Amino acid sequence: MSTLTKLKLANASRKPVEETPQERMRSRMTEHLTEQLAMATALVENRPYAATRTVTKKNEDGSTVTVERDKRLRPWYWHDLSGKWFLELRYANTVLSLAKDQNAIEIGTKDKLVPTIQTVIEAVKAGELDAAMNAALASRKKPGKAA
C-alpha cells in the first residue's frame, strides 16, 4: 500500500459530456457539410468519391460481423445550363431558406465550390444558420401526425 499513498486519491464520477440542442444541430450540419466538402474536392480534382459506413450484419453461420458499405450521398451543389454553380443547404430533409425567397448560394465556377463550402462550415460553427435550421425543424412533419 505504500505505493498508493504517493498518489492523490479522490472520490469522483465520470459524467458524459452533454451537448445542447443547438450544439448537436450544428455538429450534425457540420458533419453533412464535411461530406459535401469531400465530394466537391473529389469533383474538382476529377477523381471518384465513395463514402462508406460501417454496418453490423449476421453471416451465414449466425455470427455478427461489421462490414463497410457504400453510403448513398446526393450532392447539394449543381450547375445550370450557363455553367453557374449553386449550393443549397439542407437540414431535416428540407432546403434551408437563407434569406427571404433565397434558398441557394450562387458560387460561380467549379473551382470556388470547395472554399464556399468551407466558408459555410465556419458560418455553421459560428451559429449563423441556427435560425434557418430551427425553421426547417419546425416545418418538418412529425411521423404519424396528420397535418
* Residue-level pLDDT, tens digit, the chain, 147 residues: 578 888 888 888 888 778 888 999 999 999 999 999 999 999 999 999 989 899 998 988 889 999 999 998 999 999 999 999 999 999 988 899 988 889 999 999 999 999 999 999 999 999 999 999 999 888 876 776 655
Q: Which of 106, 63, 67, 64 is nearest to 83 (CA)?
A: 106
Give pLDDT, residue 76.
95
Predicted confidence at residue 146, as pLDDT, reads: 57
SS3 label, residue 36: helix
Phi, psi of 50 (to 5 degrees): -135, 115
Amino acid letter at 94? T
Write down the number of H helices and E strands in the chain.
Answer: 3, 7
Cross-strand pairs, 95 = 90
Length of the chain: 147
Q: Single out the residue of 113, 117, 114, 135 nearest to residue 125, CA to CA.
A: 117
Supply the pLDDT for residue 145: 60
Which grid coordinates are listed for 112? 470556388
pLDDT computed for residue 1 by the predictor: 57
DSSP output for 97-146:
--BTTB-EEEEESGGGHHHHHHHHHHHHHHTTTHHHHHHHHHHSPPTT--
Which residues sit opposite 41 in a β-bridge?
none
Amino acid at 18: E
DSSP-derived 3-state class of residue 82? coil
